[in-house]
A = this chain, B = another copy of it.
């Protein structure tokens, strides 16, 4: 059944080649000091950095540099970003990069002007910002596709000393005010990162799909995005500069995690909980940690949600169920998923993302327990990780 919910998503998206042309107009909606948050040197190598600096200058903005946002942004970097934003009286955080930079920017936006420890308040205790809290606006220029962070309130931060990687979902106040989505800006992402992003999208969809008894509109939309992704990813791995494929994947990624396809239904998210625990321990690439545990996880819970795995097989992978038991149909769906994963080239084993027999217990300790069709225990997590090695 479609449960009760509120849907709200105020992010304005400018999509397509040359959509960076909209940045100057967007900047005019904010004050004079812009904090430019980005990762390493890639946006300097590609020339994107220079283009953005030029637009910021033309818009008459004072630029506050905030480089060095790492792939799994750390709590130390979050604290540092808050200091930079406060000391410079920043009016807008402009995040240029992938999901990590967007996630980080939202964390800073919510935290710069609070007196408490943001790690404790938002990420450990899952509290929301106060009603009248001063929240900085965030804008994004996306260069890597997968997380969906460009149109949601999500913010994943890693605390290495505590072995924790936690995703906080903020309300609509923290959703980016605008995002520039130019598929050609993603052409230069290395294949490994590109493919990890593809799997991240698929995982977001599966996390929302594999839960609930329902047959609702959200499930249909979810299947549509999965089908579109599978289709376009097969084109993109052969030709990463195929605009049609890359643009459709970019658009799919945004809608895979801007809350739409999860509306009114229960969700799972255990692949992300285990994957994030691996990330906290090994610092491996997010999408690959998800890939490494997905097949073992879904085989582990398949019997608990068999009807949905049958539907997945038929509607996403065109498995013909004639003459097969539900279990056979469902397994054929998972086989098709596995084949697609091998085809695009994601990590197929937890050992590829740094999990070893020696650190399995540490990963299990770092895993936030929950589940969809099945509530996982710590022992379940250990069993799944062993199957995944």
Q: A residues engaging B (CB < 8 A)?
A: 1-19, 22, 214-218, 220-221, 223-225, 227-228, 231-232, 243-244, 247-248, 251-252, 255, 260, 263-264
Contacts and interface: CB of A to CB of B under 8 A. Distances in A.
Of A7, A225, A263, which is in contact with the most chain B CB atoms at under 10 Å from its CB? Answer: A7
A217 B228 contact: yes
Nearest to A253: B217
Nearest to A17: B4
Nearest to A247: B2
Contacts of A248: 2, 216-217
Nearest to A250: B2
19 contacts: A1-B244, A1-B247, A2-B251, A4-B15, A4-B17, A5-B16, A6-B13, A7-B12, A9-B9, A15-B264, A216-B251, A217-B232, A217-B248, A217-B251, A217-B252, A218-B251, A221-B224, A221-B228, A223-B224
Contacts of A228: 216-217, 220-221
Given A1-B247, A251-B217, A14 B6 contact: yes
A216 B11 CA distance: 22
Contact of A215 (B7, B216, B231): B231
A225 B222 CA distance: 11
Nearest to A181: B7
A22 B4 CA distance: 12
Contact of A15 (B1, B9, B215, B263): B263
A12 B5 CA distance: 11
B7 A15 contact: yes
A198 to B, nearest CB: 14
A138 to B, nearest CB: 16
Contacts of A1: 243-244, 247
A182 B199 CA distance: 36
